[in-house]
């Protein structure tokens, strides 16, 4: 299998080269574009490491949504670019930064080299108990049964991030629509794309969400695709972002984590532990949590990219 080795070596070199270049380049916009290419490379790396679940997440989040988020940030920072570039740190700062970076890298290297062989793992235990969850995909079983606490906190963290973005709104725009008003030709090519792609994208997003129970896929990846399709429609001016004061929006935003928490605490009565599922009911409960989290994640991810409220909607 020397050819497979050639694939791996060329991928490794490429990842290192692109990563080094992203750090070295001074132009923010170029760095962001490099970062999107880097996300694609990482998806390929995860495929080579036989982790298609992670590859799918990286493809959806790293290549698509994070790219859009960072590019938006870069466009906003363009005005301050020249000032930031003129500020060159002194010799002492640079030496300290170099020492810090080398120390962290060395500590990480020592940590990895000091790992016992074979590396301690819970994978056999997780695989042995997969049947009790009723879910076919071991990654979904780990995320929603064995390590459900992590997933719950993750869902809450993205919500907190959205609140952080909203809190940047000026007082007069509070409760208004995120992002600027769109001026788009309704017959233009962008509007055309936004009419053609989302119907197919919604099908693909739901498909990725649904197969997550048994094959690589799941709510996060599916929600990212749906959020991207919604953003496309918003950018094309076919729909506006909802004012953040709307009750339905706020209810949907908290509904997912709330259902997760309720089912989790019910577990302490019916199954004897918080976030435990009663015998034989694991799969329906896992699916219920995934379905409840889906709209929350779509809204949160899309509104994170849309940004802080900027204008009061016309009454």
Residues with Cβ within 8 Å of residue 202, at least 6 apart in sequence: 226, 229
- Which range binds another protein by CB under 8 A, 81-89, 180-188, 251-259, 296-304? 180-188
For another protein (CB under 8 A), the number of binding residues is 70
Tokens 């298609």 map to which residue? 52
Q: Does 36 bind another protein (CB under 8 A)?
A: yes
Write down the least CB distance from residue 103 to another protein, Å.
Answer: 30
Site for another protein in 80-109 (CB under 8 A): none
**Which token pair is 285?**
């409960």
- Position 56 contacts another protein (CB under 8 A): yes
Closest of 208, 219, 207 to residue 295, by C-alpha: 219
Would you state the structure tokens that stand for residue 269, as one six-digit string? 């009565």
Least distance CB 74 / another protein (angstroms): 7
CA distance 297 to 299: 5
Pick the binder of another protein from 136, 138, 175, 201 (CB under 8 A): 201
52 binds another protein (CB under 8 A): yes
Question: At 311, is the secondary structure helix, strand, or coil?
Answer: strand
Single out the residue of 65, 72, 19 nearest to residue 41, CA to CA.
19
What is the C-alpha separation between 21 and 101, in angstroms, rounded? 17
115 part of the interface to another protein, by CB under 8 A: no
Residue 25 DSSP class: -
Tell me how far, at minimum, the Cβ of 179 lies from another protein, in Å. Answer: 9
Which of 45, 59, 141, 292 touches another protein by CB under 8 A? 59
Q: Which of 82, 91, 114, 183 binds another protein (CB under 8 A)?
A: 183
156 touches another protein (CB under 8 A): no
Measured from the Cβ of residue 58, the count of other Cβ atoms closer than 10 Å reads 23
Which of 182-190, 246-254, 256-264, 276-284 is the region at the interface with another protein (rule: CB under 8 A)?
182-190
User: Binder to another protein among 223, 231, 263, 303 (CB under 8 A)?
Assistant: 231
């Amino acid at each position: 299998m020397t050819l497979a080795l050639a694939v791996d070596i060329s991928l490794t070199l490429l990842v290192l080269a692109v990563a080094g270049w992203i750090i070295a380049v001074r132009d923010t916009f170029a760095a962001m574009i490099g970062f999107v290419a880097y996300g694609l490379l990482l998806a390929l790396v995860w495929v080579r490491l036989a982790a298609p679940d992670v590859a799918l997440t990286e493809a959806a989040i790293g290549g698509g949504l994070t790219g859009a988020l960072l590019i938006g940030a870069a466009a906003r920072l363009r005005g301050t670019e020249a000032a930031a570039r003129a500020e060159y740190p002194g010799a002492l700062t640079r030496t300290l930064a170099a020492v810090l970076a080398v120390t962290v890298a060395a500590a990480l290297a020592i940590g990895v080299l000091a790992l016992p062989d074979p590396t301690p793992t819970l994978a056999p235990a997780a695989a042995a108990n997969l049947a009790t969850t009723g879910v076919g995909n071991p990654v979904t079983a780990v995320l929603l049964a064995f390590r459900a606490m992590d997933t719950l906190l993750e869902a809450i963290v993205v919500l907190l991030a959205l609140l952080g973005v909203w809190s940047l709104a000026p007082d007069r725009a509070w409760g208004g629509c995120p992002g600027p008003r769109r001026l788009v030709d309704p017959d233009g090519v962008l509007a055309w794309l936004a009419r053609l792609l989302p119907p197919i994208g919604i099908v693909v997003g739901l498909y990725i969400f649904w197969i997550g129970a048994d094959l690589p896929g799941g709510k996060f990846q599916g929600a990212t695709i749906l959020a991207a399709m919604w953003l496309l429609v918003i950018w094309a001016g076919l729909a506006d972002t909802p004012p953040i004061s709307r009750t339905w929006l706020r209810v949907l935003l908290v509904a997912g984590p709330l259902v997760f928490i309720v089912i989790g605490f019910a577990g302490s009565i019916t199954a004897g532990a918080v976030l435990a599922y009663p015998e034989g009911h694991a799969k329906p409960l896992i699916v219920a949590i995934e379905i409840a989290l889906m709209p929350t994640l779509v809204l949160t991810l899309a509104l994170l990219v849309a940004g802080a409220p900027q204008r009061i909607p016309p009454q």
